Structure 1
Amino acid sequence: MSSLRETKKAATRATLAHAAARTALDGGAEGLTVAAVAEAAGVSPRTFHNYFASMDEALVAFIVDRSADLATRFDEVPAGVGIFEAVERVLVAGLHEDLGERGEWDSFAVLFQVGDVLQTLTGAQSRPGLARRLYPVFAAVLPADGGLDDFEVQVTIQAAVAVARTALEAYYDLPEPRDVAAGERLVRRAFAAVRLA
């Protein structure tokens, strides 16, 4: 019985986190209120407060949950591929796949956009905490015997994320309808530039 209850609680929490992200993307930090998120999720504001102490906590929950799901895409990358090539491959594959029902919600671009709103709400103070929560997700992508210490792993992850973010921002700044081939070229150019540096 408690298993069903826990499953329902987890589903409600995920729904609230997703509603917070959707509200953040639609209305920015200014439109991100408990009332707006609760309405988007179909619950009362009191229910929101039963699950999250603050709006930034709901956004962090969305980012961590989506990051964990997106990180599973790295399972398809062959062993021995470096982090930059792995991220490049996953981004390119993501541009080409059928987005299906969830649409662009299953994209790294959405994570970056929600992260921007989170930073607007909390300032730079949110970065260390969020980075700590995401570290295990992306560290799992790196080979265990890569010879990197924790600091070097952190630098590598941050660099790969920065390159990916830059390429995706350039792609999503293109006028609609966007050409996926142009997005692929941007991703490949961004990672090639880092390899040349």
Structure 2
Amino acid sequence: MSGLRETKKAATRAQIARAAARLALDQGAEGLTVAAVSEAAGVSARTFHNYFAAMDEALREFLVTRVADLIGRLRQAPAEATLFEAVEWVLITGLWETGDDDNALDSFATLFRLSDVLHTLQGAAAWGQLDEQLRPLFEKLANRTSHLSPFESRVAVKVAVTIAQTALESYYALPAPRDPGEAEQLIRRAFDMVRLSDQGSAERP
């Protein structure tokens, strides 16, 4: 019974964190009240406080889960894929695995949009904790850049993440209902632009 109870508790915790993340994306920091999140999660305000002392804790819980999931997806990417190819593969594969609403919440872009909300809630103090929580994902991405210096690797990872973020934010800004095929095209176009720019630089005298 204790195992089942712990499983239910973990599910409730994840449910609350996910509801907080969705409200943060839809309404920003101003929409993040305990009453609103509790209603969205289908629990009481008392239950919310049983799991989280403050709203930022719920958002961080979701971020940690998303980072772990994205790392798992990166492990499944083709071993021979470059950094950009691996990120592109993760994004496109994820688009077709779940529905549109879930993808909006479970994307690279969400990590950074929620980071902005946390910054609004906590101010400058949020950045150190955010860096710590995102570091495992960045380190996993950096494994694909072993041929680069540490500085070049950091630049490459940030470029890859920015490309992903820009493509997905452009897609989710489109009116619903959205077609994941449009997102795939935007992602491929975004990464192709960087590859073309790199080739153009190499061809210059």
Bin the TM-score by the shorter chain: 0.7 to 0.9
Cα distance change on mapping 1:127 and 1:191 into 2, 3 Å: farther
Q: 1:90-136 deviations in whole A, cap 9, x for unaligned?
A: 222333x1424973333334444333322332334423321211221
Q: Is the 8 A contact 2:83 2:141 kept in 1?
A: yes
Q: Percent identity?
A: 57
Q: Is the 8 A contact 2:82 2:144 kept in 1?
A: no
Q: CA RMSD in A?
A: 2.9
Q: Is the 8 A contact 1:135 1:154 kept in 2?
A: no
Q: Bigger radius of gyration, 1 or 2? A: 2
Question: Normalization by structure 2: what TM-score?
Answer: 0.77
CA–CA distance in structure 2, aligned partners of residues 38 and 107 of structure 1: 23
Question: Normalization by structure 1: what TM-score?
Answer: 0.80
CA–CA distance in structure 1, aligned partners of residues 33 and 167 of structure 2: 31
Name structure 2 gaps, 5 residues minimum. Answer: 199-205
Q: 1:146-196 deviations in whole A, cap 9, x for unaligned?
A: 255766554443322111111111222233443444433322232233342
Segment of structure 1 superposing worse, 135-144 or 64-73: 135-144
The residue aligned with 1:42 is 42
* Structure 2 residue identity aligned to 1:77: A
Cα distance change on mapping 1:58 and 1:148 into 2, 3 Å: farther
Equivalent position SS for 1:79:
coil
Equivalent position SS for 2:35:
helix
CA–CA distance in structure 1, aligned partners of residues 180 and 19 of structure 2: 28
Aligned residues: 196
Cα distance change on mapping 1:65 and 1:135 into 2, 3 Å: same
Cα distance change on mapping 1:124 and 1:80 into 2, 3 Å: farther
Q: Return the offset for 1:34.
A: 1.3
The residue aligned with 2:188 is 188
Q: 1:13-51 deviations in whole A, cap 9, x for unaligned?
A: 211111211222333211111122122223332332232
CA–CA distance in structure 2, aligned partners of residues 124 and 164 of structure 1: 25
Q: Is the 8 A contact 1:99 1:106 kept in 2?
A: no
The residue aligned with 2:143 is 143
Cα distance change on mapping 1:48 and 1:179 into 2, 3 Å: closer
